[in-house]
Amino acid sequence: MTALVVGGSGLVGGALARALGRAGIGAAVTRFRGERDGAIELDVRDEVSVRACVRRVDPDLVFLAVNNPGGVDRCEDCPDEADALHVQGTRHVAEAAAERGATLVFYSTDYVFDGAAAPYAEEDRAHPLNHYGRAKLAAERIIHDLTPAHLIIRTTAVFGWARTSRNLAMQVWERLGSGGTMRVPQDQQCTPTLADYLAEVSVRLAGRGVRGVVHVVGGDRMVRSAMAKALAQAMDLDPGRIMPVPTAESGQRAPRPLGAVLRTDKMARLLGEAPLDFGESLRRFRRQWLADARA
């Protein structure tokens, strides 16, 4: 079996490359700019390049884990740019995967929901509040229509140790590590998800031929400010420097759902086990942090 990880330079893409290696699955990895460490340069907005890349690798599995610099707020500020990446880019990968008969594994988000009726099951009606959620929902529908063999994984609050990432853990490290403070919403609920766990579950589900939509998240529900404080403590930083604030005072430009928590019943049934709890996720994260600090 061969896999292609589109977006391998990101937090989730890097975790996928490691998880595939541990599973004994050969994987080619793409990066947005510059071919290094064996990675293939690829811009998913370029349809011709996407088709050429998929033909070259000829994968059985394609993992689509691209994300945009600037995240959710950037998508709100630059919707055309977001659509080019998340909607048209997804269409290009979906068509190329279908053409080769490969299974497409796509990463979506809890932001396809508005947070008014959490927790959400896979079949619940989507109603995104921000452009990022709308773009991801449009991408889900494209995949459903174009790619017969697909697995759509919705996740949330993904974190991990990766110096090039802007996930919450790395923001805490940068802000508090330099002696500053950090304002984090105290009213946005989430289920923190360790990137390596997300990748491991993704590989297991794809390897078992699971199709459709599955929510893959950690096992504990909390507000983001509590998550940030726990991450600070895991990195031997002062959690008192995390300042819990209402979303309205957080400076976030894109609307956020306050309770877009995802149910994990389907994932637990498919895996035959409960999702990874936040305590164990933190212990694994701390080991990653310590290993890098020592290096």
Specify if 48 maps to a domain. yes
Task: Grade residue 35 by pLDDT with cuts at 50, 70 and 90.
Answer: low
Specify if 270 maps to a domain. yes
Specify if 287 maps to a domain. no
Q: Note down the domain range covering 125.
A: 2-165+192-220+262-279
Alpha-carbon gap, residue 155 to 178, rounded angstroms: 30
Question: Residue 90 is part of a domain; what is its CATH number?
Answer: 3.40.50.720
Specify if 240 maps to a domain. no
Q: Is the dihedral of CA 223, 205, 87, 54 positive or negative?
A: positive
Instruction: Encode pLDDT of 244-271 as tens digits.
Output: 999 999 999 999 999 989 999 999 999 9
Closest CA to 75 of 50, 46, 109, 105: 109
Burial of 76 (0-12, 13-18, 19+ CB in 10 A): middle
**Strands 242-245 and 193-194: what pairing?**
unpaired
Average pLDDT, the chain: 95
Specify if 185 maps to a domain. no
Specify if 24 maps to a domain. yes
Instruction: Encode pLDDT of 219-233 as tens digits.
Output: 999 999 999 999 999
Q: Within 13 Å of residue 268, how many CA atoms lie on the same side as its CB?
A: 12
Domain tally, the chain: 1
Specify if 26 maps to a domain. yes
Contact 53, 113 (CB under 8 A): no
Alpha-carbon gap, residue 159 to 174, rounded angstroms: 14
